Amino acid sequence: MAHHHHHHECCEHEHQCCEHEHHHHHEEGGHRQLALIVLSAVLLIGAVIIEKSFALPTWQLLLIYLIPYLLIGHDTLKEAVEGLLHGDAFNEHFLMSVATLGALGIGFLPGAETEFPEAVFVMLFFQIGELFEGYAEGKSRESIAHLMNIRPDVAHVVVHDGKTEKVSEMKPEEVTVGATIVVRPGERIPLDGVVVSGQSALNTVALTGESLPRDVAVDDEVASGCVNLSGVLYIRTTKSFGESTVSKIIHLVENATESKSHSEMFITRFARIYTPIVVLAAILLAVMPPLFSFLFDQTAFSETFATWLYRALTFLVVSCPCALVISIPLTFFGGIGGASRRGILIKGSSYMDVLAKVGTVVFDKTGTLTHGQFSVTAVHSDEEEVRKESEERRLLHLAAHVEHFSTHPIGAALRDAFPDEATDGCQVTHVEEIAGKGIRAQVGSDMVCVGNTKMMEAVGAEWHDCTHVGTIIHVAINGKYAGHIVINDKIKDDSAEAIGQLKALGVSRTVMLTGDRKEVGADVARKLGLSEHHAELMPADKVAHVERLLQEAKHNEAHPCLAFVGDGINDAPVLARADVGIAMGGLGSDAAIEAADVVLMDDHPSKIATAIGIARRTLAIARQNVGFAIGIKVAVLLLAAVGLSTMWMAVFADVGVTVLAVLNAMRALSYKG
């Protein structure tokens, strides 16, 4: 998965670019690195043969071994020097360099064996570990690319060549804005744009998780990443590849790891404390025992010094925590990849940390737990005779006519409920809107009033209330009460299931905050089994409630964090304020998606529980890796200190642990739950 970076971004995020360089180096560099490893290994074998066959002086041997050493180790040495210059001395490169340079120097101690091959070997193993890391990262990147599988490889651009137009294949990154591209059935749309000719159905599953195909025709906007199903589309591109939906999503996932989590910080903190301790211990180990022996017996000093220096250097080599440095970031990377495969974009591993500790989930109602579109849920006609289907239909019919020009969502709901209103030829005249009451119009020969109770009182109709919860629209015909229509926001199919799953995960508090009316809020809260709800709130009230809940959430030892789930512009401040903000709505309100830390690509609230489950599992894997790696480290270090482990064992232990930790980290990709 290559990276597309524009220069202006580099100035803003220099560190980010370096990271991207680093990954580039993994892709093209993978082969280079492998070649270097093989070449160095061959040269090392050659050097060993030369050493065994000829009795060369030590310094000549050193020169022979330096060739493979520098070939394989130059990167590590360079990083160590850079670290020193940047004041970040204590990193693993520094450890490796000190250890190997020490091993090279041992041979010059009187009476000590030369350890040149070991020095080269340590570097070789370090590079092999790095290669594994690169491979595993490449793998999890591939799986992200593959799972989201939204990245188009080519764009077919229409080029006018003199008189004929021909289609040329280009990389999506090279296509200019305003170019025309052709997308045939079965192909993925490479860039965002507008349809200029053709019509088709698109599969948007990769972007929204929505399984129903979306029909598009001329002048419709289309997003990159969708698959064209039926017809040939000609699309005029409106955004460059870097600005297109696909890139944005890929970016979300890739830069997810930018905001480091506590567990990753743990690694950095760990190296800051760990390296100086190890280096100090190594120095003491090299100096103290020989000094003691020197006090008792001056003759054996150089020999004991050589032995302990060797032990100290072995100790240094062993102490390099490659396994952790590699596996922790990988674990989070895998977890984020595994989540994106489920349509959950987690913007950073720090949010993984928070997600795992969520004990309170706060929901917005409209568009999150409910669809956010009003629809007619009941029609009650008030004729004296037995209620008939036709009466209810007539009521809707008249109401839809009256609301024909209304811009209010309620008007839209009434029109949707009676779609053939526009074509049935009734005369609608004298439409007048009465502010705060409703709309009155002449339909055929009847004077129809549609509105609230004030409207009914104004025309003298005797209205009565309804047992259903929702917005109640009363209808009077010629001043006589004809019945009412109930309009409500439908609850999403999986909202109740989502609340159930959260409770099963031990999320104790589920709270709904809504700007809607009290009874509507109460009705939704009752149907879903929420632990509390607050209605009729302004955005500022929502923030105040969240502040209070954040304080209360802290009392829960195990799960002190609060997640807020919303989808609208008015939710952006709360999303930013919560410990972790979860935005609904595929690529819903931009403001909400910007402010959120986690984006659910489809609108299913049940994904929240999945996200929490994935986060908990990812953290568990990271902890296993830390425990495992440090455990093995300490064991080998103790052996090294008493001279029982050789440089080889040290290196093997490290590479072995690294490989196992990397494999364990890759488990984070898959989550059954």
Helices 647-666 & 301-319, crossing angle to 10 degrees?
Answer: 10
Distance CA 441, CA 397 (A): 13
User: 219: which residues sit within 8 A by CB, 6+ positions away?
Assistant: 194, 195
DSSP helix, strand, coil percent of the chain (3-state; round to 5): 55, 20, 25
Distance CA 574, CA 559 (A): 20
Helix (H) or strand (E) holding 42: helix 14-53
Could you confirm whether 364 is annotated as catalytic?
Answer: yes
The pair of structure tokens assigned to 373 is 């579109």
The pair of structure tokens assigned to 664 is 């364990």
Q: Strand, coil or helix: what is 468? A: coil
Contact 306, 110 (CB under 8 A): yes
Helix (H) or strand (E) holding 159: strand 155-161
Q: How many CB atoms lie within 10 A of CB 630?
A: 16
Identified catalytic residue from 192, 353, 364, 603: 364
The pair of structure tokens assigned to 24 is 């580039």
> Within 13 Å of residue 69, how many CA atoms lie on the same side as its CB?
24
Whole-number CA gyration radius for the chain? 34
Contact 187, 179 (CB under 8 A): no
Distance CA 207, CA 153 (A): 17
Distance CA 54, CA 473 (A): 102
Q: Strand, coil or helix: what is 520? A: helix
Active-site residue set: 364
